Structure 1
Amino acid sequence: MSLLTLSLLAIVQGITEFLPISSSAHLILLHELTGQSHEALALDVAVHLGSILAVVLYFRADVLRAFVGAGQVLRGHLASPEAFLALCLMLATLPALVLGAVLAVTGWVDLLRDARLIGVTMIVFGVWLWWVHRTAPEVRAAREWRLRDALRMGLWQAVALVPGVSRSGITITEARRLGFDRHSAAKLSMLMSVPITLATGGYLGLKVVKRGMDAALLGDIALGAVLAFGAAWAALALMMRFLDRVSFTPYVIYRILLGAVLLALV
């Protein structure tokens, strides 16, 4: 893979990984345009490694709380706020893990890589994000997250396995629909991304190892991870910083335009 292609793919995917504009849709489309195959899978691993590191460092205090809470849950201590946060994240992750396993085993995941489907989902779920954001009240904070909220957001996170839906977009939409303010909705969505992204990255990593890696491919993964980390960190920091002034409307406009272009090209 050329340095230019690697840099383009890693940076674009790092930027879109946590914005509500569907990173999977961009990843599929860019792979098709650049004609990558084996290297594309390696880049997927790199993007997951870099982007998840960006989230872990940006929300390090909350991630540490969840990590401590997970240890408490395993020991049967469920009374602390840390354990409750870990339980919520576990519950929110379960639906996507189950559906993802079904899609992987059956091979149905390949059927979803369709430009028409991506175009439709980009538009439909973009409009839904806009509507919910305009109409839903902002009366709850992230500390008020409950198990039933986690389950509902987790079910929608599973739906985001369909390219074009956007994992961050759909979970932010559901959080806003549940009454969480925009910062809390984005924060909960990002925390939910940690376990599912680790699981996805691990699965893809195993596939790469089975196919075999040479020194050049390993170097591509390392460079892609670094570039994706920088792009993901910048996109995440800017989105969180300017949510009060920018909201989600620019992302919705982008989704609709890209979806329309895809449908027109098809």
Structure 2
Amino acid sequence: MDLYQAVVLAIIQGLTEFLPISSSAHLILVPELLGWQDQGLAFDVAVHVGTLIAVVAFLLPEITRIVPAWFAGWVNRQWSNDGQLGWLVILATIPVGIVGLLAGDWIEINLRSAMVIAASTLLFGLLLGWADRGGDKNHKPMTKLGWKDTLIVGSAQALALIPGTSRSGITMTALLALGYTRTAAARFSFLMAVPAIALPGLLKSAELAQSQATTNWTMLAVGVLVSAIVAFLCMQLFMRFVERVGMLPFVLYRIFLSLVIVGFML
């Protein structure tokens, strides 16, 4: 992998990780369509570290409230609203963690085909459009989120292990369908991304540490830096217009992408 490929893939990761269009689909498809060699585990870890840095930086005001409040609640077993939000993020992470441990390898081997990506891109894109159809009328703020809705959203997040689904897309879809505002849906989806990116990243890092592959540290540094900058800017722009514009542009893009994939397969 050369510098040009590293920059392109890092930009793709930064753009697609938090938009409802599936980063995994793009990272699988782009190298395949352009005839590039697989970027390797080390680079995958690097760009995910970059997006993790970006989302932590973007949510830093919330995180610096939630984490201390969650720990403080253990003193008398009473948690403030911020502490309870910490519990909800943990609860939302459990389903994807269980499914990942039990079926992650099977999904990796059997569901990384272009046909699966095309189908899931189209299906979950249409589902996003359906959930967002009444987005202008949705009124629930994130403070209304309880454990039942959180379990539903967390279970939806587990579907994101299927390439083409989009973790942010499926979680926003679930929240919109439950009546939450677009801003609340995006914000909680971003919060859920912190453990959802960090935990698999740790597992991949452990796997990488045991491998004998040669590491190109320059390419990894480029991956971290570029993906972090692009992801941070992407979240900023997304939050500015999502309440006004809605999800339709992303739904249309997903339909277009699925047709392009099918066209290349024919």
Q: TM-score range, shorter-chain basis?
A: over 0.9
Query: What is the aligned partner in structure 1 of residue 234 from structure 2?
Result: 235
* Aligned residue type for 2:142: A
* Alpha-carbon distance between aligned partners in 1 of 2:56 and 2:48, rounded to the nearest angstrom: 12
Q: CA deviation at 1:213?
A: 5.5
**Paired position in structure 1 for 2:134:** 135
8 Å Cα contact 1:73/1:87 also seen in 2:
no
Deviation of 1:147 after TM superposition, in Å, equals 1.1
Provide Cα deviations, 1:214-248, integer angstroms capped at 9, x if missing partner. 4x522222210000001101111110011133211
Counterpart residue number, 2:165: 165
Under a length normalisation based on structure 2, what TM-score does the superposition of the two structures give? 0.93
Change (3 A) 1:194 1:76: farther
Structure 2, unaligned runs of 5 or more: none
Where does 1:39-188 land on structure 2 (aligned, <5 Å)? 39-72=39-72, 77-104=77-104, 106-135=105-134, 137-188=137-188
Distance change >3 Å, CA 107–CA 132, structure 1 → 2: closer
Q: Distance in 1 between matches of 2:260 and 2:131?
A: 24
Change (3 A) 1:79 1:71: closer
Partner of 2:5: 5
> Residue 73 of structure 1: CA displacement?
5.4
Work out the CA distance in 1 between the residues paired with 2:60 and 2:171: 20
Contact 1:156 1:170 in 2 (8 A): yes
Distance in 2 separating the partners of 1:66 and 1:93: 16
Alpha-carbon shift at residue 71 of structure 1 (Å): 2.2
Q: Is the 8 A contact 2:141 2:180 kept in 1?
A: yes
Identity level (%): 36
Task: Give how far 1:79 is off.
Answer: 2.6
Distance in structure 1 (CA, Å) of the matches to 2:49 and 2:224: 6
Other-structure match for 2:36: 35
Structure 1: state its 5+ residue gaps. Answer: none
Q: Give the CA RMSD over aligned residues.
A: 1.7
TM-score, normalised to structure 1's length? 0.93
The structure-2 alpha-carbon separation of the partners of 1:74 and 1:31, relative to structure 1 and needing over 3 Å to count, comes to farther
- Tell me how far 1:74 sits from its aligned partner: 5.5
Call closer, same or farther: CA 1:220–1:213 in 2, change over 3 Å: farther
Matches of 2:196 and 2:72 in 1, distance apart?
Answer: 20
Q: For the residues of structure 1 that align with 2:232 and 2:121, how far apart are their CA atoms? A: 23
Residues 152 and 223 from structure 1, CA distance in 2 versus in 1: closer, same or farther, beyond 3 angstroms? Answer: same
